[in-house]
Chains A and B, each alone.
Chain A
Amino acid sequence: MLSLNNIEVIYNDVILVLKGMSIQVPEGKIVGLLGSNGAGKSTTLKAISGLLKPEDGEVTDGSIEFFGEVIHHKDAADIVRQGIFQVMEGRRVFEHLTAEENLIAGGYIRRDANLKPDLEMVYTYFPRLKERRTQTAGYLSGGEQQMLAIGRALMAKPKLMMLDEPSLGLAPLLVLEIFDIIKRINAEQGTTILLVEQNANLTLGVADYAYIMESGRIVLEGYPDDLKQNADVREFYLGLTEVGSRKSYRDVKHYKRRKRWLS
């Protein structure tokens, strides 16, 4: 459905952020993209959704194809219209609009004027938003804002929803709730999901396939079950030792063990 072929992204004409990155997102699946800070995860998403331009970024090599069509030179608005919707990192709700107005803004590209059934659909996933529909979004709690951000995406009825760190800054229990809903959206609406996360454990729990990226390229990929068995992933992403017990902070000496994919 979506494929990135060896793309290279440069910011400000000099800073090379993605160095030949390739991923495939098959239709109807949840694909996870893991990596630490500054690995280029958000840049990857922005390259797909066309949001690089306002930040002076540019895809300089390779191609991004959506259903076989090259999309990386298109306008953000066109890309959304083709069915790719990015839920940006840090929620980014429209603070001065009410919750419901936020949702209506999310459905901006929909031609059919009647958004009522879709609002109801969003409210069945997030009953809390229904209670808060007339409240100013800026005053909602962090979890409610994340729900609103995902709800906004649902309003556009995308084929592919890209979520950028939905767990950011949320309480563990809320994170579980959000991930649960992401899974349900995938199953019930048939929406393909590309999930960017730092929380490896949870992501490997919901994803059908996962990529791990470091400094601008994919270093490892595979099915979650296989990745969970990988020694490097266990140590650096899941924080487990060889025996599988939780590591004591005292023993953490990263230089002792080099990541194998680096050499």
Chain B
Amino acid sequence: MDLFIQLTLTGLTNGAILALAALGFVLIYKSSDVINFAQGEFLLVGAYVIFGMVAQFGLHWTLGMFLTVIVAVALGVMVERLVLRPMIGEPIISVIMVTIGLSSLLKAIVFTIWGNLPKAFPSFIPSEPVKILGATIGEDRLWAIVIAIAMLGLFNFFFRRSKEGIAMRAVADDQQAALSMGISVKKIFAWAWSIAAATAAIGGALLANIVGVSGDVAHFGLRVFPVVILGGLDSVPGAIIGGIIIGLLEQYTGGYIGQGLNQVLPFVVLIFILMVRPYGLFGQEIIERV
């Protein structure tokens, strides 16, 4: 029983971080139909920037986190301005290829500044073990869950209630029609990329706190793909629930069946779910009126 709870909690935290990375991914896909292959590198940037703030400049972690988010937003706006705006009107596939280039570029910049050796990270969020129902878990992992849930609430509110959020969904539905009512598509894209970069940076920071700072952070970002495909590429709740499902599945198979298989089983489940629901669990169906 203890093992079960232990695995569940670990799975939930991994899932929460996955979900944070996936949220940004979903946001970009939702507003612009672009699959962002640089999402993992956004995590990487977040991890290294907070490392720089906390370990190198010695700032308090709350301030460091705040500044990291600001850097991430600036990065998002810059990416939109310099990389995506010239691509407006080009086929989506070209934009997707550009994000692959962007991922290499970001990785190179990070490694140029900090070097590519793994760094020891002074845990910045208190990681005292906490006992819950007989299982022990680091406090930092609990924080990951709390932050992920808070973000979900925030995002849901943003998309359902705020004018900018509704405009963002409108752009995703029909860009030209959105343009015809004065919604600036450029502005919406800038919003989407900065929010995506910011959430990824938060995810990266949390991840760095748990596993340390190295290029592996970007690889963790690659696991976002099964998460979003499972949850539905364009669904915010799907990103969260997909993240948690993948996180739990990995832990359960690792704990009960054996290490190694945990890398495979999530994908097997993914295939089964896609056979039943091709749009993912919560993805938008294509509306057809007959």
Across-interface contacts of A54 in B (CB, < 8 A) = 89, 175-176, 179
Across-interface contacts of A104 in B (CB, < 8 A) = 163, 166
B5 within 8 A of A: no
B174 within 8 A of A: yes
Known: A94-B173, A96-B173. A51 touches B179 (CB 8 A): yes
B284 within 8 A of A: yes
Across-interface contacts of B89 in A (CB, < 8 A) = 54, 56
* Contact indicator B181/A156 (Cβ below 8 Å): yes
Which of B172, B176, B181 meets A85, CB within 8 Å?
A: B181
CA of A128 to CA of B281 in the docked complex: distance in angstroms?
Answer: 32
A129 within 8 A of B: no
Across-interface contacts of B179 in A (CB, < 8 A) = 51, 54, 76-77
A123 within 8 A of B: no
B94 within 8 A of A: no
Known: A138-B287, A139-B289. A97 touches B183 (CB 8 A): no
* Contact indicator B174/A92 (Cβ below 8 Å): yes
Most buried by B among A86, A104, A108, A156: A108
* Contact indicator A94/B289 (Cβ below 8 Å): no
Known: A88-B176, A92-B176. A156 touches B182 (CB 8 A): yes
Interface size class of B (residues with CB under 8 A): 20 to 34
* Contact indicator B178/A138 (Cβ below 8 Å): no
Interface size on A, residues (CB 8 A): 32
Q: Which A residues, 226 to 249, have Cβ-Cβ distances below 8 Å to chain B?
A: none
Known: A92-B174, A96-B287. A80 touches B166 (CB 8 A): no
CA of A108 to CA of B184 in the docked complex: distance in angstroms?
Answer: 10
* Contact indicator A95/B173 (Cβ below 8 Å): yes
CA of A109 to CA of B184 in the docked complex: distance in angstroms?
Answer: 10
* Contact indicator B169/A77 (Cβ below 8 Å): no
Which of A49, A86, A97 meets B173, CB within 8 Å?
A: A97
B160: nearest residue on chain A (CB-CB)?
A101
Across-interface contacts of B166 in A (CB, < 8 A) = 97, 101, 104-105
Q: Give me the interface of A with B, judged by CB distance under 8 Å.
A: 49, 51, 54, 56, 75-77, 80-81, 85-86, 88, 92-97, 101-102, 104-106, 108-109, 136, 138-139, 142, 152-153, 156
| 25 examples of A-B residue contacts, CB within 8 angstroms | A54-B89, A54-B175, A56-B89, A77-B179, A80-B180, A80-B182, A88-B177, A88-B180, A94-B169, A94-B173, A96-B172, A96-B284, A105-B167, A105-B170, A105-B178, A108-B163, A108-B167, A108-B170, A108-B181, A108-B183, A109-B181, A109-B182, A138-B289, A139-B289, A156-B182
